[in-house]
A and B are shown apart, each in its own frame.
Chain A
Amino acid sequence: MAESDDLRDDSSFPLGAVSKGFRGRIVEVGRLADADATDPDAFSEELERRLLEIGFVEGAVVEILHEGFWGRDPIAIRVDDMSVALRRREANAVWVRADASSSVSR
């Protein structure tokens, strides 16, 4: 996971903020988006571990496949070999960066 060493630069953003068609890589799991920092439900180590356990791990390739009809929420995400549905609020704990190499193949 060499990529995850130089995290937290300006080009990463929470997965909950991206739109359908986005492709990228996870750079960090468990950091809270500033907007949710005051929301006690939004983040916990519990959520971090649950996200990790279902495959949201640093370095994984993600792609937003679908968005819900109402408020474009929840979102369906391709994570490596599987698809997972998440609400955007939970997705905000996953930080991603657009991936140049995977964008080319789109």
Chain B
Amino acid sequence: MSSWPSDAFRFALVGNPNCGKTALFNTLTGKRQKVANYPGVTVESKRGRLTTPSGRKMVAVDLPGTYSLRGRSPDEAVTRRAITGEMADEPMPDLIVCVVDATNLRLSLRLALELKATGVPVMIALNMIDIAKARGITIDVEGLARELDLDVIPTIAVEKSGTEALVTAIDHVAQSAHPRSTPHWHEQSAEEVRAAHQFVNELVNRHVQTPVHSDRWTRRIDNVLLHPVWGILVLLLVLFFIFQAVFSWSQPAMDAIKYGFDSLGDTVKTTLPEGMLSSLLADGIIAGVGSVIVFLPQILVLFFFIILLEDFGYMARAAFLMDRIIGGVGLHGRSFIPLLSSFACAIPGIMATRVIDNRRQRLATIMVAPLMTCSARIPVYTLIIGAFVPETNIFGIINLQGLVMFGLYAVGIVSAFLVAWVFRVFVWNGKSEPFIMELPSYKRPSLQSVAMNVLQRAFVFLRRAGTTILSMMVLIWFLASVPGAPEGATDPAINYSFAGMIGHFLQPVLAPIGFNWQIAVALIPGMAAREVAVGALATVYALGSDEGALSTVISAHWSLATALSLLAWYVFAPQCASTLSVVKRETNSWTWPVAMFVYLIGLAYAAAFLVHGVTEAFAS
């Protein structure tokens, strides 16, 4: 944003959730956006730039959707504080554009009145006017504008031409901008909210004609999608399809990325003289970042579906259907999708918790997301199960290896529920948050807006990979490679490194759970991403990258108790530096990633200890 004058005209978009505010913001500012977190809260701020036809440069701010300016938590108060200029790094806007859903005027207009009362200039963007017309809703725009004493500009957010009038109107305000008064706001009492409703009701009755059944389609679709039986069947089908897509569509791209990073690493190794620099580039930076970037295709596919379904209006329905099940442990119906995403990778899952507007439920969801079995655990599970679990069938039909795999997934899910419940009871003293959620009418998603949001997410992920994750990878490489092996050493070089020392140092601590020093050493580079531990084990056993050989070696070297203990460890252990760094970003504090690390390590150790002890008792 450096090229924009700091005193540029600023306007803030404010509106109810689902009013098309973000689509309007995307159309107005195009790709010139900047996403950042506000200090001290978990809500992100979106700023964008635009130039009006008259050449005026402006800054647009997309504020979190809300039904009122009253916010109970710092997260919910962001919109109000940004408007009244109480937010650090966020100058007070010169104008508020209140985005009003033309198909659902009452709530939006009540918010518009509250905004107007702050004294900041307000303009109304009467959005989705096309949908309102199609539904037979007639709105007397001049009448509304006159009685509200505000400019009311009809807009169609998803079309560039639908926002031209709004830009012109904003430009007009900017031209005649006069010194602003200090904004003022007071918390409305229940009676004031009632009075505002009554005023808006009368206003709507005078100026808006709505046919009796204005939204037949939403009702019809909901008769299936919210049906107690069909609705759940459709939800399962949707989930099945998304999972198929995430795992199969992204596979070619993941293979290509893996191949790309592998050959890049090889090229570096062959061109550069052997030594620290070559190792840092190839084994540290390229391999490390590659092991995280390889999940980008899955993340893109997943986010494509999440954002598409969100814009269509289905996500609120999925939350409705699942609320009873996951609400009991203190999560929100909307926690469902983020948790589901975490089966692919916890990173998009944690990023997807933004749809949960309640801070506590959002934090609880973030904290349990890593317990979902992500795809990076699959190589580890496959290796150990393949080496230790016989390929026999129970009752002739159930494959024992498959059963163990299923069990590992199930343990993850059950623990997530238990942890969420413990969180609710002990961290938040049993308070359960109310579940009050609008079921927006279904809308045809704008592919442009969906694509833009997906790319934004991808960019955020890559920026993580490029900054925090990269530095983590370099650190992990450093630990695993420095100091190098002495002359005439017989063991693999990693044994002499800091990782080796840490592994050997930790080994007595890990002995009660049955880990030998090879495992202890492999866990250190395994912090980069869980599947890296497989390669690290091969390195420690000096095997190169032949995984078939690794399976043979570990089945000869490890006891069954050790193998099962490592499986139990991997269900819980926070063996993923990237997840922790994303939690840091999303919660905007060190408290949560540290708490997550501590509780997951604790659970992992306890589970591994238990499994090891029980297996030894039975095996002997």
**Interface residue ranges, A against B (CB under 8 Å):** 1, 30, 41, 45-55, 57-59, 65-71, 73-74, 76, 80-87, 89-90, 105
Contact B320 A81 (CB under 8 A): no
Instruction: Known pairs A59-B201, A84-B436, A105-B212; list 15 more (Cβ under 8 Å).
Output: A46-B72, A49-B68, A49-B190, A51-B436, A53-B193, A57-B193, A68-B228, A68-B323, A69-B231, A74-B435, A76-B320, A81-B104, A82-B104, A85-B319, A85-B435
**What's the Cα separation between A70 and B163 when bound, in Å?**
44
Quick one: which of B106, B228, B333 contacts A69, CB cutoff 8 A? B228
Mark out the residues of chain B between 97 and 123 whose CB falls within 8 Å of any chain A CB in the assembled complex: 103-107, 110
Which A residue's beta carbon lies closest to that of B327? A87
Q: What per-residue 1/0 map shows which CB atoms of B198-229 lie under 8 Å from chain A? A: 10010000000010101000110010001111
Residues of A within 8 A of B194 (CB): 52, 57-58
Residues of B within 8 A of A54 (CB): 67, 107, 436, 438
Which B residue's beta carbon lies closest to that of A87? B435
Q: Looking at the assembled complex, report how far the CB atom of B303 sits from the nearest CB atom of chain A, in whole angstroms.
A: 24
8 CB contacts below 8 A, A to B, read A41-B431, A48-B190, A74-B323, A74-B324, A80-B106, A82-B104, A85-B435, A90-B436
Quick one: which of A46, A55, A67, A71 contacts B106, CB cutoff 8 A? A55
Q: Looking at the assembled complex, report how far the CB atom of B362 sits from the nearest CB atom of chain A, in whole angstroms.
A: 17
B173 at the interface (CB under 8 A from A): no
Mark out the residues of chain B between 227 and 251 whose CB falls within 8 Å of any chain A CB in the assembled complex: 227-229, 231-232
**What's the Cα separation between A66 and B229 when bound, in Å?**
12
Contact A85 B437 (CB under 8 A): yes
Quick one: which of B189, B198, B201, B439 contacts A76, CB cutoff 8 A? B439
Closest 7 CB pairs of A and B: A69-B228, A83-B439, A66-B226, A70-B324, A52-B193, A57-B197, A53-B67
**What's the Cα separation between A54 and B540 when bound, in Å?**
60
B432 at the interface (CB under 8 A from A): yes
Q: Looking at the assembled complex, report how far the CB atom of A69 sits from the nearest CB atom of chain B, in whole angstroms.
A: 4
Contact A41 B190 (CB under 8 A): no
B325 at the interface (CB under 8 A from A): yes
Q: Looking at the assembled complex, report how far the CB atom of B427 sits from the nearest CB atom of chain A, in whole angstroms.
A: 16
Contact B222 A65 (CB under 8 A): yes
B522 at the interface (CB under 8 A from A): no
**Interface residue ranges, B against A (CB under 8 Å):** 67-68, 70, 72, 103-107, 110, 188-190, 193-194, 197-198, 201, 210, 212, 214, 218-219, 222, 226-229, 231-232, 316, 319-321, 323-325, 327, 333, 431-432, 434-441
Q: Looking at the assembled complex, report how far the CB atom of B192 sits from the nearest CB atom of chain A, in whole angstroms.
A: 10
Residues of B within 8 A of A58 (CB): 194
Contact A68-B324, Cβ < 8 Å, known A30-B190, A53-B193, A54-B67 = yes
**What's the Cα separation between A90 and B227 when bound, in Å?**
21
Contact A87 B438 (CB under 8 A): no
Contact B320 A74 (CB under 8 A): yes
Q: Looking at the assembled complex, report how far the CB atom of A73 sits from the nearest CB atom of chain B, in whole angstroms.
A: 6
Residues of B within 8 A of A74 (CB): 320, 323-324, 327, 333, 435
**What's the Cα separation between A45 and B189 when bound, in Å?**
9
Q: Looking at the assembled complex, report how far the CB atom of A58 sits from the nearest CB atom of chain B, in whole angstroms.
A: 7
Q: Looking at the assembled complex, report how far the CB atom of B206 sits from the nearest CB atom of chain A, in whole angstroms.
A: 16
Which A residue's beta carbon lies closest to that of B68? A53
**What's the Cα separation between A86 and B107 when bound, in Å?**
17
Contact A49 B107 (CB under 8 A): no
Residues of A within 8 A of B72 (CB): 46
Contact A47-B324, Cβ < 8 Å, known A55-B107, A83-B218, A83-B222 = no
**What's the Cα separation between A30 and B232 when bound, in Å?**
32
Q: Looking at the assembled complex, report how far the CB atom of A101 sits from the nearest CB atom of chain B, in whole angstroms.
A: 12
Contact B190 A45 (CB under 8 A): yes
Residues of A within 8 A of B219 (CB): 65
Residues of B within 8 A of A105 (CB): 212
**What's the Cα separation between A59 and B436 when bound, in Å?**
19
**What's the Cα separation between A70 and B227 when bound, in Å?**
12
**What's the Cα separation between A38 and B107 when bound, in Å?**
32
Contact B190 A52 (CB under 8 A): yes
Which A residue's beta carbon lies closest to that of B431? A41
Q: Looking at the assembled complex, report how far the CB atom of B35 sits from the nearest CB atom of chain A, in whole angstroms.
A: 27
Residues of A within 8 A of B324 (CB): 68-71, 73-74
Contact B214 A81 (CB under 8 A): yes
Residues of A within 8 A of B434 (CB): 47, 50, 86-87, 89-90
**What's the Cα separation between A54 and B320 when bound, in Å?**
17
Quick one: which of B222, B323, B327 contacts A66, CB cutoff 8 A? B222
Q: Looking at the assembled complex, report how far the CB atom of B442 sits from the nearest CB atom of chain A, in whole angstroms.
A: 11
**What's the Cα separation between A52 and B193 when bound, in Å?**
7
Contact A82 B193 (CB under 8 A): no
**What's the Cα separation between A103 and B210 when bound, in Å?**
19
Quick one: which of B106, B232, B316, B432 contacts A81, CB cutoff 8 A? B106
Residues of A within 8 A of B440 (CB): 83
Interface core residue of A45, A51, A80 (most chain B CB under 10 Å): A80
Q: Looking at the assembled complex, report how far the CB atom of B388 sits from the nearest CB atom of chain A, in whole angstroms.
A: 38
Residues of A within 8 A of B323 (CB): 68, 74, 85, 87
Which B residue's beta carbon lies closest to that of A68? B324
**What's the Cα separation between A54 and B319 when bound, in Å?**
18
Contact A69-B190, Cβ < 8 Å, known A50-B434, A55-B106, A84-B436 = no
Contact A69-B439, Cβ < 8 Å, known A53-B193, A76-B222 = no
Interface core residue of A46, A74, A81, A87 (most chain B CB under 10 Å): A81
Contact A66-B438, Cβ < 8 Å, known A46-B72, A85-B316, A87-B327 = no
Interface core residue of A48, A52, A90 (most chain B CB under 10 Å): A52
Q: Looking at the assembled complex, report how far the CB atom of B533 sits from the nearest CB atom of chain A, in whole angstroms.
A: 39
**What's the Cα separation between A41 and B272 when bound, in Å?**
66
Q: Looking at the assembled complex, report how far the CB atom of A4 sits from the nearest CB atom of chain B, in whole angstroms.
A: 9
Residues of B within 8 A of A89 (CB): 434
Which B residue's beta carbon lies closest to that of A44? B434
**What's the Cα separation between A67 and B110 when bound, in Å?**
29
**What's the Cα separation between A105 and B110 when bound, in Å?**
29
Which A residue's beta carbon lies closest to that of B232? A69
